[in-house]
Amino acid sequence: MKAEELNKLRDQFKAEIAMQDGSCDYRVLVGMDTGGQAAGAVPVYEAMVEDTKKNGYKCKVIAAGAIGVSSLEPIVEVVAKDGTKTTYVHVNPDKAHEIMAGHIGQGKIVMDYVVGTTPLGKMGREANDPVVTNIEDTEFFKRQKRVVLHNCGKIDPCDINEYIGADGYQALAKALSSMKPRDVTAEVLKSGLRGRGGAGFPTGRKWGFINPDEDKDHYVICNFDEGDPGAFMNRAEIEGDPHGVIEGMALAGYAIGAKQGYIYVRAEYPLAIERLNNAIAQARKDGLLGEHIMGTDFTFDLELRLGAGAFVCGEETALIQSVEGKRGMPNPRPPFPAISGVWGKPTVVDNVETLFNIPLIIHNGADWFLGIGDEKSHGTKVFCLAGKTNNPGLVEIPLGTTLREVVYDIGGGCQAGKKFKAVQTGGPSGGCLTERDLDTPITYDTLVAAGSMMGSGGMIILDEDNCMVDVARFYMDFICDESCGKCTPCRVGTKRMLEMLTSITEGRGTQKTIDDLKYLAAEIKDSALCALGQTSANPILSTLNKFPEEYQAHIEKTCPSHVCKKLLKYEIDREKCIGCGACERNCPVKCIAPTDYVAPGKKLPARAIDQYKCIKCGTCMATCRFGAISRH
């Protein structure tokens, strides 16, 4: 396929997507990413396809990617020929049949199921305001800027023609027809794009280390080893728009003189793998991968490499080892991959989201990208908003947006009206930020200055019920499991830190335990081989700095948030107990029994808890209807 043919296809399928070719009157987009399918989107999609065939509806039902609001799935978006969009949420097969009959069959919106009937759809609106029918008109979406996610939920990820109709592969055509390899690198450098995988190194500088004209093999690797707890940004990006990363890799290959690229993906992402393999096959068939791409001398092809889910393989040298078929363990740097990478050859390793930005920068120009975001951190960042937030899901914001806007204006605050306590950014390598930090702009430098980091995009909201010592223990437990064991500081040091945290959460810690924890954390940070070990202490140091009073409370053998079981105590107030025996009957370990005491005005003996047998499960407190059981 040459550039002229690509332009004809673009115009053809752009018209089809806009329904200007007369092929249909409606596009029905069903969110069929992993999250959507887990929520029940498959039977919804099947019901809508069945109704279309059965009734001869002039519409196209598409298995699309994620719109991004996890709590409202399965989500269906109906787009009319005039551009009107209607978003239906919590759809099941019965609702799907109603939507098809009413909206597609009769042209009437089924108001009972639109997004405006949900708390997210009502957020920021007065009671007498019209019901929102398009999710893009909600506060959740209006405060975002969809750049990387612009195709997700809008096109068919399994159809290359829909990607082409959305200006796909135009950037590659532009680069091959009017730019030299060094010009592509220069444009990326000018844009100020920084790596979206965590470290934030300038992408153009990384590419500039490799001479595209030298007579040796060069390689491009896409780091799709998304391992942070609670993060699924890259998975959703690939599942909703796989050609975006393919075009980004082809541009990177052209810029550095590479003929081969590898996408390193964890095997736990079967749907993403399926859609990538499909997209690669389509691109090869259309001459957009392989030899003489678009009739030029440029040759570039892609291959998937499946990983076993090792968190350490997110580190680029460990990832390269795994790509080569070796055990994923990091190597000392230098030499850096740009000098000696996969097979000992110059290699560029970039994160999925970084590569998604490349076609947009080349197609629209560096100045366009510079106009988005903060003056030092340009563009947007996709975050996975999770934890105790009312609106969990994917959010894409211009860099420079404050944490407060994300937590409250987009996330809708904490669930059940609970008080916000902290937000964990950067995953296991990051740290906790508190209410005092909420007006911090989200940029690479400001988050580090506040005691955390950007990371790949995990953002977990914690409320008043979370114990920060337990949060630190959770992350350290994860890091211990994921340590490759190559260097002693990480292999042994993280284990010792976990033991100290466990002793604190179980009431065995002392002030010396905290002092030793601080000392060991600093030593590991300075001596570990790779970033996993070097940043392993960040959650500990962050919570020690932001919540010293919680550590002190645990030393005094109390957990203020009532999370650490070994520090909890359930007691029955014998004056309030009516002796009904509900707690006794429901106790899983039979540690509750009648006493000899009958409270004044009561007829039956009060119950008491055997503290030695109690497993602190809380069943008794949940069962009691008279408020006679308390937790300390």
Q: What is the CATH number of the domain that holds 451?
A: 3.10.20.600
Q: How far apart are CA 513 and CA 517, in angstroms?
A: 6
Of the pLDDT bands very low, low, confident and very high (cuts 50, 70, 90), residue 456 is confident
Of the pLDDT bands very low, low, confident and very high (cuts 50, 70, 90), residue 473 is very high
Reported pTM: 0.94
For residue 198, is pLDDT > 80?
Answer: no
Lowest mean pLDDT among 2-6, 219-223, 281-285, 583-587: 2-6
- Angstrom distances, CA of residue 175 to CA of 159, 365, 419, 590: 23, 11, 51, 73
Q: Is residue 148 part of a domain?
A: no
Q: What is the CATH number of the domain that holds 606?
A: 3.30.70.20
| The pLDDT value given to residue 40 | 98
Q: Where does a domain end: 370, 401, 426? A: 370
Average pLDDT, the chain: 95
- Domain check: are 200 and 56 in the same one? no
Q: Is residue 149 part of a domain?
A: no
- Domain check: are 195 and 335 in the same one? yes
- Domain check: are 401 and 286 in the same one? no
Tokens of 394: 């994917």
- φ and ψ of 88, to 5 deg: -105, 140
- Domain check: are 52 and 18 in the same one? yes
- Strand ranges across the sheet with 26-31: 59-64, 26-31, 76-80, 85-88
| The pLDDT value given to residue 494 | 96
For residue 376, is pLDDT > 90?
Answer: no
Of the pLDDT bands very low, low, confident and very high (cuts 50, 70, 90), residue 268 is very high
Query: Around 572, how many Cα atoms within 13 Å sit in the side-chain half-sphere?
Result: 32
Q: Where does a domain end: 439, 463, 487? A: 463
Q: What is the CATH number of the domain that holds 519?
A: 1.20.1440.230
Q: Is residue 159 part of a domain?
A: no
Q: Where does a domain end: 444, 463, 482? A: 463
| The pLDDT value given to residue 22 | 86
* pLDDT, tens only, 106-116: 999 999 999 99
* Residues of the domain holding 416: 380-463
Q: For the chain, how many structural domains are there in total?
A: 5
| The pLDDT value given to residue 228 | 85
| The pLDDT value given to residue 346 | 97
- Domain check: are 124 and 180 in the same one? no
Q: What is the CATH number of the domain that holds 99?
A: 3.40.30.10
Share of the chain residues as helix, strand and coil, in percent rounded to the nearest 5: 45, 15, 40
- Domain check: are 173 and 309 in the same one? yes
Of the pLDDT bands very low, low, confident and very high (cuts 50, 70, 90), residue 181 is very high
Q: Is residue 154 part of a domain?
A: no
- Domain check: are 384 and 297 in the same one? no
User: What percent of the chain has a predicted confidence (pLDDT) above 70?
Assistant: 100
* pLDDT, tens only, 597-630: 999 999 999 999 999 999 999 999 999 999 999 9
- Domain check: are 314 and 455 in the same one? no
Of the pLDDT bands very low, low, confident and very high (cuts 50, 70, 90), residue 183 is very high
Tokens of 361: 């920068």
User: Across residues 17-33, what is the average pLDDT?
Assistant: 94
* pLDDT, tens only, 496-525: 999 999 999 999 999 999 999 999 999 999
User: Across residues 256-282, what is the average pLDDT?
Assistant: 97
For residue 1, is pLDDT > 80?
Answer: no
Q: Is residue 169 part of a domain?
A: yes
Q: What is the CATH number of the domain that holds 287?
A: 3.40.50.11540
Q: Is residue 562 part of a domain?
A: no
| The pLDDT value given to residue 70 | 93
Q: Is residue 70 part of a domain?
A: yes
Element containing residue 294 per DSSP (H, E): none
Q: Is residue 190 part of a domain?
A: yes
| The pLDDT value given to residue 607 | 97
* pLDDT, tens only, 275-292: 999 999 999 999 999 999
| The pLDDT value given to residue 229 | 84
User: Across residues 334-344, what is the average pLDDT?
Assistant: 95
Q: How far apart are CA 116 and CA 122, in angstroms?
A: 6
Element containing residue 156 per DSSP (H, E): none
Nearest to 354 by CA among 323, 319, 320, 379: 379
- Domain check: are 50 and 170 in the same one? no
* pLDDT, tens only, 200-257: 899 999 999 999 999 889 999 999 999 888 889 999 999 999 999 999 999 999 999 9
| The pLDDT value given to residue 215 | 85
| The pLDDT value given to residue 429 | 85
- Domain check: are 419 and 352 in the same one? no
- Domain check: are 302 and 364 in the same one? yes
- Domain check: are 427 and 516 in the same one? no
User: Across residues 92-101, what is the average pLDDT?
Assistant: 98
